[in-house]
């Protein structure tokens, strides 16, 4: 059975890097798809023997009149509502920020299933941030490095039983 995974998190945590790693060149440009704007990128992902749709909450970096918090909340809510599973990324090198807390709250209230991942986890500089992530109350964080392709086995192990 196929499922939809939304990658959510504040700007710069590595969502698009992970999206690109999961989708590779199989990117479906969303402009052609009804109901999906350029703020949400959709692609067909592969991880081991899993095949699923992945959504990247993009477009947050563009400057608009609306506040980042407001846009991020709306976009995250839309992605959450489209998804069977949410992959919530934090930046392990930055630790847990107030914005992460806001998003964690949305996910706790709204998401069907959340997997927490501490990205940028390569090397020991990430250890403190990974530890902080436990405090979000969203379970044990998966240690990921989207850039280096590390932790994808652990991500698979968390996705497999709920897929
Ligand atoms: P997004 O705004 O959440 O989509 O984040 P991006 O995917 O654009 O990544 C933001 C920055 O973090 C870029 O400079 C990436 O190269 C970097 N980045 C992404 N993943 C990793 C990682 O696993 N480790 C490190 N050190 N940097 C990363
Ligand atoms: Mg991005």
pLDDT tens-digit map of 23-68: 986 554 544 444 445 678 889 999 999 999 999 987 665 556 667 7
pLDDT tens-digit map of 95-109: 999 999 999 999 999
How far is Cα 5 from Cα 84, in angstroms, rounded to an integer?
6
Q: Which residues surround ligand 2, an ion (CB under 5 A)?
A: 15-16, 58
Q: Give me the mean pLDDT over the 80-96 stretch.
A: 97
How far is Cα 53 from Cα 78, in angstroms, rounded to an integer?
15
How far is Cα 39 from Cα 17, in angstroms, rounded to an integer?
16
CB atoms within 10 A of CB 112: 12
Residue 38, pLDDT score: 62
pTM for the complete prediction? 0.91
Q: What is the ipTM of this complex?
A: 0.99
State yes or no: pLDDT of 159 exceeds 70: yes
Percentages helix, strand, coil for the chain (3-state, rounded to 5) are 40, 25, 35
> Is the C-beta atom of 120 inside 6 A of ligand 1?
yes
């Amino acid at each position: 059975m196929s499922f939809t995974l939304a990658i959510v998190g504040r700007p710069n945590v590595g969502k698009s890097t992970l999206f690109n790693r999961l989708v590779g060149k199989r990117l479906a440009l969303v402009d052609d798809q009804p109901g999906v704007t350029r703020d949400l990128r959709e692609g067909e992902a592969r991880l081991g023997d899993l095949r699923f749709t992945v959504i990247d909450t993009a477009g947050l970096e563009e400057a608009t009149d609306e506040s980042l918090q407001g846009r991020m909340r709306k976009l995250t809510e839309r992605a959450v509502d489209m998804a069977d599973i949410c992959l919530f990324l934090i930046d392990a090198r930055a630790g847990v920020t107030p914005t992460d807390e806001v998003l964690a709250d949305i996910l706790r209230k709204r998401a069907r299933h959340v997997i927490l991942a501490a990205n940028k986890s390569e090397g020991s500089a990430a250890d403190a941030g990974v530890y902080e992530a436990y405090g979000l109350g969203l379970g044990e964080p998966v240690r990921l490095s989207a850039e280096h392709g590390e932790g994808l086995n652990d991500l698979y192990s968390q996705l497999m039983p709920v897929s």
